[in-house]
A and B are shown apart, each in its own frame.
Chain A
């Protein structure tokens, strides 16, 4: 019994190790690039255009109808994206829709925001300790506070970094202020930017256990708290705070399923972004704002979808660009043939380890058949490579990987050095 278990244990370890390292090495040799195409809404063509990577710093520049452009033509179609280059080529100011735009006006009314699945809460390690910057109009620089805060089941605790102990005064002040505003502990989600490398501090947006959202700031060491006027409680996955000089919105609320809301500056109203079937845990989202339009793109496994909106966030055009396989058919089929499955620790959607077992396509069956044939051929060699049902099952499940492991575990296959 122990002999069988021991042998099987090594086969399992060997197959797992090979299914991890060999496909990785294969991809390194045969370069499996899969860069997202860059999708933009052109205010010149009034349709989507995109840049597609061919690998090796070669790109295709195309529009929705498949017309191809040179790099310079492509830049001219996107004056708000490539304004600096166009300025050097004396193509600015440019008149679009009756308005004239120079590099300065474009740069003042442009904003970009990217929410990658791998950065969303739960997809990467995050220690829930945050600095709450003190907003003091008399001080120009944003000084890093000596305290960090955390949320416990019934308090917003501040810990003094100099002494590594609780600050009871700030803890009491903020906890009471939150309770006064109707906050129900514990906090479910905390969104903010814990850095002083930003133009100004906009505090944190904190979701409570009842699906309410509160804007929490520290002004002259006192809490300044505002409850967002939500129509109904939200099941929030994450909140992203932008702190951008345009001050059009505070940030983005990402509920768990399929929606995205901007938090409007001023009245804290929610602006829904028109994204369909958006899964924040497996898709990347980009919002690009220019003086005339807003474009949101969502990259999923199969396609990149773009929605162009006017300045009032009303949809004016949608476009879906199917993703192209970066690797050639030969490379993909060879990979499937050799490796019926792959063990992975990394995932493009996670900023931490994510164990995955990826099964190959139909070509894997051909690889398994070849492994079977080799298995029977080897079993006829002298000395024989005795076939048993267990080994046959291992080869059936893992193809050439299993055959390699079985070959190394056969007693007579490698004579003893002793």
Chain B
């Protein structure tokens, strides 16, 4: 049964996953080429000065890519389920609703997380190739809130899609939008780093609140 569900989830997202991977890798390569080109045009010490003391974030173009990835994969995974309320069929399979939701979410989050891991690795390797270790670590720490926004985006989109009442759907959308906007606060490198433990801890309630939407979906909104 679990294998069948896994296959169903895979069939739903495979092309979107491929597209997300291409976009993420494309941006990672763009950042590498951008930095290489800046370093060939300017003195390396001046580029380091910009990175360290002027707080220039060279991988800034990447910041909304994880969010877009999370939203796309959530839509690919759950939009077909709410069309014609197809998910109700899956929810009547001989397995616990919450267990199945947990499985689907774990699958989606695993895929999203794997893409972000690749992104983080690319950012680190690119920065490490041209900058000291401290700058490479700082670049990944600066990108962490963007990856967190991708995960929040995924969970928020699932909660909104599964919600059945429009006023509540709008409210969910606004709540997740505000929480995601918080992850784009500040300027320069590492601005949000001190807040990351708090913002990361909110992932658990964000994960849990999707189950309430699924419960209401199964009951048709009650």
- Interface residues of A, Cβ cutoff 8 Å to B: 2-3, 5-10, 12-14, 16-18, 20-21, 125, 127-129, 131, 144-148, 150, 159, 161-162, 164, 194-195, 345-346, 352-355, 408-409, 411-412, 414-418
Contacts and interface: CB of A to CB of B under 8 A. Distances in A.
A10 B205 contact: yes
Contacts of A345: 182, 185-186, 192, 195
Interface string B135-159: 1001000000000000000000001
**DSSP majority for the B interface?**
helix
Given A9-B209, A125-B188, A353-B186, A2 B98 contact: yes
A55 B82 CA distance: 52
Contacts of A14: 171, 175
Contacts of B178: 17-18, 20-21
B122 interface: no
B208 interface: yes
Contact of B48 (A18, A129, A408, A415): A129
Q: How many of chain B's residues touch chain A, expressed as a range?
A: 35 or more
B43 interface: yes
Contacts of B89: none
B83 interface: no
Contacts of B90: none
Interface of B: 43-49, 51-53, 55, 85, 98, 129-132, 134-135, 138, 159, 164-168, 171-172, 174-176, 178-179, 181-182, 185-186, 188-195, 198, 202, 204-212, 215-216, 220-222
Nearest to A345: B185
Given A12-B205, A14-B175, A353 B138 contact: no
A13 B175 contact: yes
A355 B198 contact: yes
A416 B164 contact: yes
B52 A355 contact: no
A16 B49 contact: no
Nearest to A14: B175
A418 B175 contact: no
26 contacts: A6-B208, A6-B209, A9-B208, A9-B212, A10-B172, A13-B179, A14-B175, A16-B202, A125-B138, A129-B134, A129-B135, A144-B43, A148-B45, A148-B132, A162-B44, A164-B130, A346-B186, A352-B186, A353-B191, A408-B167, A411-B216, A416-B220, A416-B222, A417-B221, A418-B85, A418-B220
Given A125-B189, A353-B194, A9 B206 contact: yes
B164 A146 contact: no
Nearest to A194: B53
B99 to A, nearest CB: 10
A3 B211 contact: yes
Contacts of A5: 208
A164 B131 contact: yes
A408 B168 contact: yes
B202 A131 contact: no
